[in-house]
Chain A
Amino acid sequence: MNVTFLLALLLPLGLTHAQTQPAQEPAQARLSIQTGAPVLALAYSPDGKRIATGGQEREVVLWNAQSGERIMTLKGHTDDVVTVQFSPNGRFLASGGVDNALILWDAITGDIIRKTTDHTDYVRDVAFSPDSRLLATASWDGRSMVWETLSGNKVATIDKHRDNVTSVAFNPAGTELLTASGDKTIRARDTRTWEQKYSLLGHTDEVWDARYSANGRYVVGGAWDNTARVWDVDSRRLVHTFPAHVSDTWAVAFSPDGQLIASGGGDHKVKLWDMATGILLQDVSGDLHTGEVENVAFSPNGKTLASVSRDGTLRTWNLPGANERISAYVKQGMNEWTKRGEFEKSDEYQKRQERKDRQFGELTRECQEKIVNSYGSTADWQPFTLTNYNADSESFTLQSRLFGDKLRLHVSPRDAERVRANFGQVRYGTPTFDIDNDEVMLKHVNALIPIDGTAKTFTIGR
């Protein structure tokens, strides 16, 4: 009877556990640095070579992202450093702290350019505009402020939240400023007027972090209701509610291609969620973090995830490729196929094997489709720069942040110079993607480029 009672108690726990089980094993840690004090702030430099952290040592520390070597220690805060960000142009570093200070640093020399103490409570988050011209803060004094980065002139003070402001972010176009708050809302403002454009509702407790996807189409919020929620910005529709953690969600981030969301929680976990399939892809950290995970950040090339924790560590993790995402989806979707002990040549056994193989194939195709079909809406795939023209293959090599130099723009020699001259006015058709060598790649898209006053269609492919 005792055993029955115990089993009965454990049954619901087991069911709950099964529903939130990741399909993949914890990731391999690349770097693991014990700093000696809780680490609260984290950012990658735009070139991905450096990682900045801040925490209860009251310093901003710059690390070599590959080797883990401490490059520089920036002293200037008089209390815990809770946020740090590089400017997109790589010139500046901004940090905020419990001392109510915002410090703008020279990211190369480590010199303090300016220290601002306009906030009356701690500066919880900072964000640069995409052109690095503006710098915004979120503070527990309930206000968000925006400064011109270079001059230090304050251009806006926003105090419309009903509670502390916990997070701030510019959209990639620089037209919106996103703020999240303890009042459970996420709000977006027009950066010309600083008037509210819309609010994103759904979180049922204090929102602690909010970020745009790299193409600005989605916003992810992490809150003390233990969830990470994703909205479509245009429709304001909630598209995913991830049961991210068994305790508060402290940090969220989109991968550079918008296909993955990382979350860090009060349950000491770093988790990875798949935007294309909506599943928990991986419990990244397993049991390696032993304190609350305060922040997560993807490397700019999307190959690595970094996390910092109150346990004093900075860790970086390898990220799963497309094949691992597919196998995670298949693993979650597959029924339990167990050997029942039949003779392997029996008809029943053969039929079951066929059904199993069929389901495996269906799930694999289904996941591939979900990934390639969603890629165009999550990834900022369009920015290309023209490099060399190869007359033999009659194509330009295209350089891209997401696809490297693997793509070609096919142009006949007689159009080559005019295409080069007018490439800045290119418009794109509907892209198609596929999975190649564990990565999602652009398969084909038409590029409409004005030639002699009319838009001429060229193709981009591999």
Chain B
Amino acid sequence: MNVVFQFLVVGLFGWLLPALPAPRRAFVYPTSPTTSATFSKDGRLVLVGTQTGQIALFHGRTALLVREFTGHHQPIGDLESWSDRDTVVSGDAGGNLLFWRTSDLTVVRRVRVTSPVRLVRVHPGKPQVAIAGRRAVWLVDMAGTYRKLVSGTTGADITAMAFSPDGTKLAVGYANGQLLVSNLTTGQQQRVRQKTAIRDLAFGRDTLLTVSGNPVLTMWCHPNHDWVLTRSIPTPQPLTAVALTGPAIALGSANGDVILLTPGQENTRLVGRDPEPVRSVRRHPREALLLTTAVGESPKTWRLTE
């Protein structure tokens, strides 16, 4: 009797529980695990890099696989859309950086760096891209010329990188918790350090947000000249990815939750749940959608609106 009662009560409770958010789309590439994903500049496509080097181009709204780019032959480290509508920059584990067009899959430019490409970030205003290898960062332009911006002096691996919205600064996060902000106009570099490895970072207009695998979002400001830690916001889950989505902050967590946090408001909102730790979160350029990648999972989009 007791068992039956428990069965009914818990069953009824389960019945009344709100349903978990379902992904808007899952971008399933059947033949190889995926490593990274991004939206095309106009948001129509979702570009998914894979372990075998192919880049799958999915129609973003329908998740229909429309093309495959086969210019790389090593695992894709990262990829981002160029500032025009059509060009994509992708880097692989062999240090190859390719600029190519999504419309006809033509390679426009090839650049080779001396390290596996881990992160690719396109400058928000200039025809320039920042490439992070294991410990160094290069700035590469469309003509293929590049210069080393950061060398491996910290002795730790690079784990995160982001341009400021106005393109004047580039922040680089390291596995030893170090944060390096380069002023691209003056050439000055500032370093701060937190105790734990930086997992991801994102620039606000005047702030820098970092996550480190702990249940806390760290906010840095530079009121005068130096970057100082201004706020630590506790979160329900250990955080692994961060992105700005207008006034709110999208966060990926170690348990797979995708959370929306609005500074100044107490509650966070769950917008998605992956079964594995979230590796990256990206905002759709036009629609209220997030794109997430998670370890061993197909990239997914999630609705920001309830």
Contact = CB atoms under 8 A, between A and B. Distances in A.
Contacts of A80: 64, 66
A98 B67 CA distance: 12
A383 B130 CA distance: 70
Contact of A7 (B7, B22, B65): B7
A11 B7 contact: yes
Contacts of A7: 7, 11
Contacts of A310: 64
B15 A4 contact: no
B33 to A, nearest CB: 20
A12 interface: yes
A7 B9 CA distance: 11
A8 interface: yes
A15 interface: yes
A456 to B, nearest CB: 58
Contacts of B15: 11-12, 15
Interface in B15-47: 15, 22
A4 B7 CA distance: 6
B264 interface: no
B14 A9 contact: yes
Contact of B6 (A8, A38, A40): A8
B11 A11 contact: yes
A207 B128 CA distance: 40
A247 B22 CA distance: 9
A5 interface: yes
A-side interface size class: 10 to 19
Contacts of B3: 4
Contacts of B10: 4-5, 8-9, 11
Interface string B219-256: 00000000000000000000000000000000000000
Contact of A4 (B6, B12, B13, B22): B6
A383 to B, nearest CB: 38
A168 B10 CA distance: 47
B11 A8 contact: yes
A247 B11 CA distance: 24
A80 B65 CA distance: 11
Contact of A8 (B14, B22, B65, B66): B14
Contacts of A8: 6-7, 9-11, 13-14
Nearest to A247: B22
Nearest to A250: B62
B64 A12 contact: no
Interface in A305-326: 310
Q: How large is the interface on B (under 10, 10 to 19, 20 to 34, 35 or more residues)?
A: 10 to 19
A38 B7 contact: no
Nearest to B13: A8
A347 to B, nearest CB: 31
Contact of B14 (A11, A40, A56): A11
B14 A38 contact: no
Contacts of A206: 61
A274 B7 CA distance: 35
A247 B23 CA distance: 10
B14 A12 contact: yes
Contacts of A40: 64
Nearest to A79: B66
Nearest to B59: A98
A230 B15 CA distance: 28
Interface string A1-32: 00011011101100100000000000000000
Contacts of B13: 8
Given A4-B6, A8-B6, A98 B66 contact: yes
A80 B57 CA distance: 14
A9 B10 CA distance: 7
A332 B71 CA distance: 56
Interface in A239-271: 247
Contacts of B9: 8
Nearest to A206: B61
A399 B59 CA distance: 48
Nearest to A310: B64
Contacts of B14: 8-9, 11-12
Interface in B55-104: 61, 64-66
A124 B26 CA distance: 22
Contacts of A9: 10-11, 14
Nearest to A15: B15
Contacts of A56: 64, 66
Nearest to B14: A12
A32 B61 CA distance: 28
A15 B61 CA distance: 31
B271 to A, nearest CB: 16
Residue from A5, A7, A40, A98 with most neighbouring chain B CB atoms (10 Å): A7
A12 B66 contact: no
A80 B10 CA distance: 49
Max chain A C-beta neighbours (<10 A), residue from B3, B14, B64: B64
Interface of B: 3, 6-15, 22, 61, 64-66
A-B complex: 6 closest residue pairs judged by Cβ atoms: A11-B11, A8-B10, A12-B15, A12-B14, A8-B11, A8-B7
26 contacts: A4-B3, A4-B6, A4-B10, A7-B7, A7-B11, A8-B6, A8-B9, A8-B10, A9-B10, A9-B11, A11-B10, A11-B11, A11-B14, A11-B15, A12-B11, A12-B12, A12-B14, A12-B15, A38-B64, A38-B65, A40-B64, A56-B64, A56-B66, A80-B66, A206-B61, A310-B64
Given A8-B10, A8-B14, A38-B65, 17 more contacts: A4-B3, A4-B7, A5-B10, A9-B10, A9-B11, A11-B10, A11-B11, A11-B14, A11-B15, A12-B11, A12-B12, A12-B14, A38-B64, A56-B66, A80-B66, A98-B66, A206-B61
